[in-house]
């Protein structure tokens, strides 16, 4: 089942990974949306490592099994270890064929692809019991990676190997934070599209979406978008308007569109396609979308998944914007883990509170607070969210982490770059901003569409990694 989006993720989320709460943001979702070359580790079996349930409580003795994949096809003695870090998703046997694979091959490296606790097959405890999720945090995930690295390096085969961690979106955060918190274990980090600054009211996201459509779209596009959303807002104010909107948008007859939270879900759904085009589209995608909107004689906006979407359809052939059903769907689904992380650590709530966007102000921050309490209980309220975000920024040092040998990479049309590091921290912690590149695009490779700027950026990333691990020195 496809969930509609509330871009929360980074990633990749997203991160609640692109639309609604940025589930799926990051590498996994990109490979769904675009046809890229990947390395298929079809002969590699899942590997498992025992991890402590709580790395920070010596009295907690329970353990669980974490999944990872290893590729030693190019390995030679003294070669480096590359760890491609998984984020808020289930890892697969496909990894990027871009510079991760090229570095592995060119430096005779070993590759490990790690899965994050509480995602995929790496499930310590039942994710549908809120109390079990207290062991889900970036702190615990970093400790898991530390244990994995120590275990790999304990073998005489790898004891002298340099360690390079690579990740995108939320996993990009993790690799930068590994260098910050475990500098004795990690030599180099490549953080792609990493929103390292946690933020509750992430209004800048839709500001950037608006900016992308303004700069890349044809004249008049933003005005048309404004017109469409203002019309939605007016129709939802009256009974006659609601009936008209229901017919136009195939909304189920029994959906109560007078309820505020149901109206908010409707706006979330309609904004999602714009978010996806800005986060994962090309400039041509934005131009084409603008033409579709401006050339259409009807006010209908194509959905992100359209007929594939089942969350709102409820298998009834119509769209049911029922907030309570939405909460229950998430509670029973696999993405409840990412919702927990954004509600307790990151925020990333993409609101419409800024006036510098065309989507009206119908998705306020309170909507997200209500989702958190609806999913996890009344104690997961505004204060809990704000405290979690403050703690995250204090612990990981926000946009000014004291790190070296970390390269921060962002695409300049990616809305998540507003929470990323886009200026050099130092000569040994540079920032690379790639013109007209989307979220995590540097991690992938498509010879048919790669721009000269993207090719040059990847070359620069590889050069830095090789320099920092002393390859060829």
- At 315-369, the pLDDT tens digits run 568 889 999 999 999 999 999 999 999 999 999 999 999 999 999 999 999 999 9
Domain hosting residue 81, numbered range:
38-199+400-468
Backbone phi and psi for residue 427, each to the nearest 5 degrees, phi listed first: -65, -25
Q: Which of 370, 389, 408 is the last residue of a domain?
A: 389
Q: Is residue 23 part of a domain?
A: no
Q: Is residue 28 part of a domain?
A: no
Q: Is residue 31 part of a domain?
A: no
pLDDT at 447 over 50: yes
- At 267-309, the pLDDT tens digits run 999 999 999 999 998 899 999 999 999 987 766 666 554 444 4
CB-based burial label for 156 (10 Å; 0-12, 13-18, 19+): exposed
CA distance 414 to 421: 13
pLDDT of residue 451: 92
Question: Lowest-confidence range among 30-44, 108-122, 242-256, 332-346?
Answer: 30-44
- What pLDDT band is residue 40 in, cutting at 50, 70 and 90? low
Q: Is residue 184 part of a domain?
A: yes
Q: Which of 361, 389, 417 is the last residue of a domain?
A: 389
Average pLDDT over residues 48-57: 98
- Could you tell me the two tokens for 349? 């709530």
Q: Which of 331, 365, 389 is the last residue of a domain?
A: 389
The answer on 369 and 242 residing in a single domain is yes
pLDDT > 70: what percent of the chain? 85
CA distance 185 to 194: 21
The answer on 374 and 259 residing in a single domain is yes
Average pLDDT over residues 8-36: 41
DSSP letter for each residue of 26-94: THHHHHHHS---EEE-TTPPPEEEEEES-TT-TT---EEEEEEEEE-TT--TT--EEEEE--SS---SE
- What pLDDT band is residue 34 in, cutting at 50, 70 and 90? very low
Q: What is the CATH number of the domain that holds 407?
A: 3.40.50.1820
Q: Is residue 130 part of a domain?
A: yes
CA distance 18 to 294: 24
pLDDT of residue 300: 60
Backbone phi and psi for residue 45, each to the nearest 5 degrees, phi listed first: -80, 155
CA distance 130 to 110: 37
Task: Compute how many other C-beta atoms are within 10 angstroms of the C-beta atom of residue 428.
Answer: 14
The answer on 357 and 275 residing in a single domain is yes
What total number of domains does the chain contain?
2
pLDDT of residue 33: 44
The answer on 216 and 173 residing in a single domain is no
Average pLDDT over residues 307-312: 48
CA distance 449 to 8: 28
pLDDT at 96 over 80: no
Average pLDDT over residues 45-57: 96
The answer on 210 and 194 residing in a single domain is no
The answer on 139 and 46 residing in a single domain is yes
CA distance 441 to 435: 11
Q: Where are the alpha helices (DSSP H) in 377-451?
A: 382-396
Q: Is residue 27 part of a domain?
A: no
Q: Is residue 287 part of a domain?
A: yes
The answer on 74 and 60 residing in a single domain is yes
- What pLDDT band is residue 240 in, cutting at 50, 70 and 90? very high
The answer on 305 and 225 residing in a single domain is yes
- At 138-166, the pLDDT tens digits run 999 999 999 999 999 999 999 999 999 99
The answer on 385 and 421 residing in a single domain is no
- What pLDDT band is residue 444 in, cutting at 50, 70 and 90? confident
Which SS3 state, helix, strand or coil, does residue 293 take?
helix
The answer on 428 and 456 residing in a single domain is yes
Q: Is residue 127 part of a domain?
A: yes
Buried b (16+ CB within 10 A) or exposed e, 395-405: ebeeeebebeb
The answer on 160 and 42 residing in a single domain is yes
Mean pLDDT (the chain, rounded)? 89
The answer on 248 and 134 residing in a single domain is no
- What pLDDT band is residue 445 in, cutting at 50, 70 and 90? confident
């Amino acid at each position: 089942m496809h969930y509609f989006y509330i871009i929360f993720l980074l990633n990749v989320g997203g991160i609640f990974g692109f639309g609604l709460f940025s589930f799926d943001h990051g590498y996994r979702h990109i490979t769904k949306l675009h046809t890229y070359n990947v390395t298929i580790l079809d002969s590699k079996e899942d590997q498992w490592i025992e991890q402590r349930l709580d790395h920070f409580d010596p009295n907690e003795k329970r353990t669980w099994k974490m999944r990872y994949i290893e590729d030693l096809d190019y390995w030679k003695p003294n070669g480096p270890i590359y760890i491609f870090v998984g984020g808020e998703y289930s890892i697969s046997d496909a990894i990027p064929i871009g510079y991760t694979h090229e570095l592995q091959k060119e430096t005779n490296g070993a590759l490990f692809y790690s899965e994050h606790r509480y995602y995929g097959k790496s499930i310590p405890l039942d994710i549908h019991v809120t109390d079990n999720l207290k062991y889900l945090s970036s702190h615990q995930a970093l400790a898991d990676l530390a244990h994995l690295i120590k275990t790999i390096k304990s073998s005489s085969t790898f004891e002298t190997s340099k360690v390079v961690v690579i990740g995108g979106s939320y996993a990009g955060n993790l690799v930068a934070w590994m260098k910050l918190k475990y500098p004795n274990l990690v030599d180099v980090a490549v953080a792609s599209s990493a929103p390292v600054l946690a933020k509750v009211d992430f209004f800048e996201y839709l500001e950037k979406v608006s900016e992308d459509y303004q700069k890349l779209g044809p004249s008049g596009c933003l005005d048309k978008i404004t017109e469409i959303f203002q019309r939605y807002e007016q129709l939802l104010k009256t009974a006659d308007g609601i009936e008209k909107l229901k017919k136009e948008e195939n909304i189920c007859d029994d959906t109560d569109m007078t309820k505020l939270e149901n109206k908010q879900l409707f706006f979330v759904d309609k904004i999602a396609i714009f978010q996806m085009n800005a986060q994962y589209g090309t400039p041509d995608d934005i131009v084409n979308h603008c033409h579709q909107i401006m050339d259409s004689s009807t006010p209908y906006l194509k959905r992100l998944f359209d007929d594939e979407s089942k969350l709102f359809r409820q298998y009834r052939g119509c769209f049911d914007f029922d907030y309570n059903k939405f909460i229950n769907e998430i509670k029973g689904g696999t993405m409840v883990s990412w919702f927990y992380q954004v509600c307790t650590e990151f925020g990333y709530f993409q609101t419409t509170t800024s006036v510098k966007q065309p989507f009206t102000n119908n998705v306020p921050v309170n909507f997200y607070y209500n989702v958190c309490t609806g999913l996890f209980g009344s104690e997961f309220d505004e204060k809990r969210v704000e405290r979690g975000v403050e703690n995250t920024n204090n612990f990981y040092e926000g946009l000014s982490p004291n790190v070296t040998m970390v390269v921060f990479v962002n695409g300049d049309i990616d809305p998540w770059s507003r929470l990323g590091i886009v200026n050099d921290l130092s000569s040994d912690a540079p920032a690379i901003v790639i013109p007209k590149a989307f979220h995590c695009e540097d991690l992938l490779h498509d010879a048919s569409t790669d721009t000269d700027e993207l090719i040059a950026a990847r070359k620069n990333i590889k050069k830095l990694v090789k320099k920092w691990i002393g390859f060829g020195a």
